[in-house]
Amino acid sequence: MEKEGRAKNLLENGEQEMTNPSWRYSCPHVLVATIVAFLFGYHLGVVNEPLESISIDLGFSGNTLAEGLVVSTCLAGAFAGSLISGWIADGVGRRRAFQLCSLPMIMGASLCATAKTLAGMLAGRFLVGLGLGVGPPVASLYVTEVSPAHVRGTYGSSIQIATCLGLMAALVIGIPVKNIVGWWRVCFWVSTIPAAIFALAMMFCAESPHWLYKQGRFAEAEVEFERLLGSAHVKSAMLELSKSDRGDETESVKISELLYGRHSRVVFIGSTLFALQQLSGINAVFYFSSTVFRRAGVSSNLANVFVGIANLTGSIVALVLMDNLGRKVLLHWSFFGMALAMAVQVFASSGVASYYGAFYFSVGGMLLFVLTFAVGAGPVPGLLLPEIFPSRIRAKAMAFCMSVHWVVNFFVGLMFLRLLEQLGPHLLYSIFATFCAMAVVFVKRNVMETKGKSLQEIEIALLPQE
């Protein structure tokens, strides 16, 4: 068999390198991939400030359902995109999948920028969402597969930082919207620039050697490993790939195999992590932050800046610590810190504290929540899941887990205000705190540490050999 022959050859002709590959080879490729995370953050935040102006110009001012659709249609598109992202990534490769996802983002943003009606805006937002649904899971795959093991956590954290920068860019660019007529159209046009740069830059980036190996294109995989790791580490990298090769790489992966087969445990872990990430209430907190600050006479712009700084600070901490402390430690203490922050929010809304005391507790709890989220619960799942999924199912399992993420995200966003009215902040924040506490227990019992391990070592450790 050809693969067995190659593995024997590698064992005879090459020895495992004891030194780590230089991060300088892979860094440019990872930086280009993070542009899609920047676009993800930008498009999630681009309608926040301009929504009022958009509703006036397009004739649906005061229609809260229409305003909600402008926001949620993008999420619906992202859900649809995430369902097919794995099949696209496996079918045409990671690099081509990136280029394909940039097309609906460019077309959709252009449609939004030129929209004359609500229908045109919704069509554009759905197209953008399709691109956002495909891009981030492929980015997680790509960064995991092209990164040397010793910096894979750092590179994975850069995706979260790029998302934060995208959100902050959307905020900054949206500031003149209330003073300049039609500025919201500029906000959408601006996003086409990084999307076009992303599509072009991907032409010069390496394809995932893992994907090439699955396709039986071994010589090309070696060439890409040389670009990413340096020539001294090519043989050891190819040897690692051959160790986990089970001979069934070309067989199609069915949904039933993800849910009930030998891979169901890791898919369950991944889906649950993404569900708990959203059920923690992070998007609700992002939404409610402006209201809390406004009640104290602080502008929503300043509120968004504080939340953005907390988010970026936590992401930088994660970047520094991910490959030192490890994924499980950060995830565990991140959810613990979020539970503590929600407990502070519960105290602030209980009526025990004075008015000013309640405000400081509420704002402090909110910023602590965002900070601790960004340290672990935000960046770790997107990095950890491609690490624990076997090569054969990696793309499709990520697609499945991301679809769970988008469904839970959608329902939390849809139900938050209604639940806030019916239950009150005290009970609602208690529910969020409970989910965070459940996440602490789940991580402790089910998540393995992957720091410093090759993808093949992780696969062999998790998957029972048959």
pLDDT tens figures, 176-228: 888 888 899 999 999 999 999 999 999 999 999 999 998 889 999 999 999 99
Say yes or no to pLDDT of 231 above 90: no
Q: How far apart are CA 44 and CA 397, in angstroms?
A: 24
Averaged pLDDT for residues 387-401: 85
Q: Per the domain annotation, does 430 fall within a domain? A: yes
Q: How far apart are CA 130 and CA 97, in angstroms?
A: 12
Averaged pLDDT for residues 407-430: 80
Q: Per the domain annotation, does 240 fall within a domain? A: no
Q: How confident is the model at residue 175 (pLDDT cuts 50, 70, 90)?
A: confident
**Total domains present in the chain:** 2
pLDDT of res. 297? 63
The helix/strand/coil state of 225 is helix
- Angstrom distances, CA of residue 194 to CA of 84, 120, 411: 23, 22, 30
pLDDT of res. 16? 44
Length of the chain, in residues: 466
In 9-161, beta strands by DSSP E = none
Asked if 121 contacts 113 with a C-beta cutoff of 8 angstroms, the reply is no
Dump pLDDT digits (tens) for 244-301: 665 555 456 666 667 777 778 888 999 999 999 999 988 777 666 666 666 656 666 6
Asked if 34 contacts 254 with a C-beta cutoff of 8 angstroms, the reply is no
Q: Per the domain annotation, does 236 fall within a domain? A: no
Q: How far apart are CA 106 and CA 223, in angstroms?
A: 32
Q: Are residues 169 and 34 in the same domain?
A: yes
Query: Which residue in 78, 38, 81 sits closest to 193, CA to CA?
Result: 38
Determine the structural domain holding residue 458 and report its residue range.
256-465
Report percent pLDDT > 90 for the chain: 40
Q: How far apart are CA 408 and CA 411, in angstroms?
A: 5
The two three-digit tokens of residue 393, written as one number: 């199912």
Q: Are residues 264 and 198 in the same domain?
A: no
pTM score, whole prediction: 0.84
Q: Are residues 167 and 60 in the same domain?
A: yes
Asked if 35 contacts 198 with a C-beta cutoff of 8 angstroms, the reply is yes
The phi-psi region of residue 408 (left if phi > 0; otherwise alpha if psi is between -120 and 50; otherwise beta) is alpha
CATH of the domain at 312: 1.20.1250.20
Q: Per the domain annotation, does 237 fall within a domain? A: no
Q: Are residues 181 and 324 in the same domain?
A: no
Q: How far apart are CA 84 and CA 133, in angstroms?
A: 9
Q: Are residues 436 and 315 in the same domain?
A: yes
Q: Are residues 187 and 277 in the same domain?
A: no
Q: Which of the pair, 416 or 165, is modelled with greater confidence?
A: 165
Average predicted confidence (pLDDT) for the chain: 84
Q: Per the domain annotation, does 234 fall within a domain? A: no
Query: Which residue in 45, 143, 127 sits closest to 78, CA to CA?
Result: 127
Q: Of the candidates 171, 190, 205, which is a domain's last residue?
A: 205
